[in-house]
Amino acid sequence: MATFKEFRNNIKPNWCPGCGDFSVQAAIQRAAANVGLEPENLAVISGIGCSGRISGYINCYGLHGIHGRALPIAQGVKMANRELTVIASGGDGDGFAIGMGHTVHSIRRNMNITYIVMDNQIYGLTKGQTSPRSAAGFVTKSTPSGSIEQSLSPVEVALSAGATFVAQSSSNDLKGLTDLIEKGIKHEGFSLINVFSPCVTFNKVNTYDWFKEHIVSVDSIEGYDPHDRIKAMSYSMQNNGLLTGLIYQDTTRKSYEALVQGFKEEGLAKADLTISEEDFQKLVAEFA
C-alpha cells in the first residue's frame, strides 16, 4: 500500500507562499494513500489557472488541460479506463465560468469521478480580476468601482442540478478536507468538493481570517442530515453558501458507468484492440 510520500514527486510547486492550494495538494495525496491507492491507480486532470498546475505536482497520471475543459477530459479518461480513480481539479473561474456548462452536465450525468474546485473567488493567474464567485461590490482590476454582479453559489447550483455528492471545505482544515476527499473518492457517482482556497496575493478580502469568521460547519448544526436535499439547500442559503462539511449525499442513484449497457469492467489499457483483416476491410469498405 502506497504511503503519502509516494504520491510526492520532485517538482516544487510555484504557488505563492501561503496559497491555499498547497493544502489541497497535500489533502489529495493523503486521501489517495488513506483509501489504499497506488500512484498508478490515480489520474489527476486539471484545467487552467494557478490551481491547474496541481496535476504536475502529484506522483500519478496527470494531464494539464485547457481552460474550462478538465471535466470532459476526466470523463473521457474514466470511460476509457474505469479501473482508474479519476480526480478533476480547477479553480472557480475554470469550473464556474468558462467551464460551467461542463460542470452542470457532469453533475447530472453522475459519472464516478471526483471534482475538486479551488475557490479563491478571484482570477489569480491573470493578476486579479473578478470571478463568478466574487461578491457584489468586490473591487478588482476588472471592476474598479465594485462588481455589480451577484456571486454564484456552487453548492446551490450542484443541488439544483441533481448532484449525488456535495461537500465544501477550507484549505486551512487539512484533516477535514482529507476526510471529504476520501468520502468523495469512495462515493459511487460524481462528487463535487468546493474548497475555499485563499489567494494571498490578489484577494485581500476573502482571507483565512475572513473564512474562519464566516464559514459554518454542518457539524455545528444539531440534527443535520446530509441525505435531505431540501434542507441542505435551505441551510446553504441561510448561511450565504458558506456551509462546510458533507452537505449532501445520495447513495441510491447508480453512476453513469453502471447504467451503460455492455460497458466492460476491464479498461481499454488492458483490452485487446486488434481486429481481423476481414473486419478491417469491412471498415475500409464502409468509409472509403
Q: How confident is the model at residue 156 (pLDDT cuts 50, 70, 90)?
A: very high
Count CA atoms closer than 13 A to 169's CA, side-chain side: 27
Distance of CA 138 to the CA centre of its chain: 25
Residue 26 has pLDDT above 90, yes or no: yes
Residue 192, all three cell numbers = 463535487
Pseudo-torsion of CA 48, 176, 11, 40, nearest 10°?
A: -90
Report which residue type is found at 98.
Answer: I
Kindly report, residue by residue over 199-242, the tens digit of the pLDDT.
999 999 999 999 999 999 999 999 999 999 999 999 999 999 99
% of the chain at pLDDT higher than 90:
90
Pairwise CA distance, residues 26 & 7, whole Å: 9
pLDDT at 232: 98
Count CA atoms closer than 13 A to 60's CA, side-chain side: 30
Dihedral pair phi/psi, residue 280, rounded to 5°: -65, -45
Mean pLDDT value of segment 268-276: 85
Residue 269 has pLDDT above 90, yes or no: no
pLDDT at 266: 86
**Which residues face 196 on adjacent strands?**
119, 170
Could you tell me if 117 and 90 are in contact, meaning their C-beta atoms sit under 8 angstroms apart? yes
pLDDT at 270: 82
Dihedral pair phi/psi, residue 7, rounded to 5°: -95, 5
pLDDT at 75: 97
Predicted TM-score (pTM) of this structure: 0.94
Which among 155, 138, 105 has a CA at the least distance from the CA of 256? 105
Where exactly are the structural domains of the chain?
4-262
Helix, strand or coil, per DSSP, at residue 52 = helix
Sheet strands (E) in 74-214: 85-91, 114-119, 165-170, 191-196
Q: What CA–CA distances, in Å, run from 77 to 74, 112, 140, 182? A: 5, 11, 37, 20
Which of the following CATH numbers is that of domain 4-262: 3.40.50.300, 3.30.70.270, 3.40.50.2300, 3.40.50.970?
3.40.50.970
Residue 185 has pLDDT above 90, yes or no: yes
Q: What CA–CA distances, in Å, run from 242 to 153, 176, 213? A: 9, 15, 11
Kindly report, residue by residue over 59-93, the tens digit of the pLDDT.
999 999 998 999 999 999 999 999 999 999 999 99
Distance of CA 142 to the CA centre of its chain: 26
Count CA atoms closer than 13 A to 91's CA, side-chain side: 29
Residue 288 has pLDDT above 80, yes or no: no
Pairwise CA distance, residues 220 & 18, whole Å: 28
Residue 220, all three cell numbers = 455545528
Mean pLDDT value of segment 1-12: 92
Residue 144, all three cell numbers = 474598479
Residue 91, all three cell numbers = 479553480
- DSSP state, residue 94: I
pLDDT at 15: 96
Pairwise CA distance, residues 286 & 277, whole Å: 14
pLDDT at 272: 85
Pairwise CA distance, residues 215 & 170, whole Å: 9
Mean pLDDT value of segment 112-125: 96
Residue 189, all three cell numbers = 457517482
Residues in the chain: 288
